[in-house]
Amino acid sequence: MNATIEKIIGSDPYEGPFEGEDYLIDDDGIIHVGEARLAATICRKVNMSNKFTNRLVHLGKSGDMIKLGFDEVADTASLHSEKLGSNKDVKSDIKTDGTVFYVYIEGKRKTKTFNTLSIAKAYCKKLSNQLDQLAEVNETDDD
């Protein structure tokens, strides 16, 4: 898998496509990248190649490094699903891998993880309230 990723990206991981930008693929298949632009380029190239069943996503940060990995939870069933916002037009799903809970907004996974389902639901409720406030601000701007 690591060789396939390196082939798709088309550069040596230690030299990088640009001077001073490099990445490292560890034994677990997690890609560690020091530059946000390079991380986005790697995600785009790997996801557009259609050589993997799961999408490469931003998993989080570890120090100065951005961690990229394959989203293996995306195809599992949702534990909780609801519509957010005042118009109820933003779909949210909560999924788990058995230990950690993930929030998906419109099918895209958020990097924040949660230890319990109740905390993940509270996060969704907070997002819904923020969307409501944003809608109120937009309505007053139109007047």
HSE-up of 58 (CA within 13 Å, CB side)? 20
Number of domains the chain is built from: 2
Q: Can you read off the two tokens belonging to residue 52? A: 């993997």
Instruction: Name the residue range of residue 114's domain.
Output: 80-142
Which residue did the predictor score with more confidence, 24 or 142? 24
Residue 79 has pLDDT above 80, yes or no: yes
Residue matched to tokens 């949210």: 92
Last residue of a domain, one of 14, 36, 70: 70
Q: Which of 138, 107, 112, 134 is nearest to 123 (CA)?
A: 112
Residue 59 has pLDDT above 70, yes or no: yes
Residue 16 has pLDDT above 80, yes or no: no
Regarding whether 65 and 7 lie in a shared domain, the answer is yes
Residue 124 has pLDDT above 90, yes or no: yes
Report the alpha-carbon distance of residue 22 to residue 6 in Å, rounded. 12
Q: Which long-range contacts (CB under 8 A, 24 or more apart) does 39-42 make?
A: 39/66, 39/68, 41/9, 41/17, 42/9, 42/68
Residue 75 domain-assigned?
no
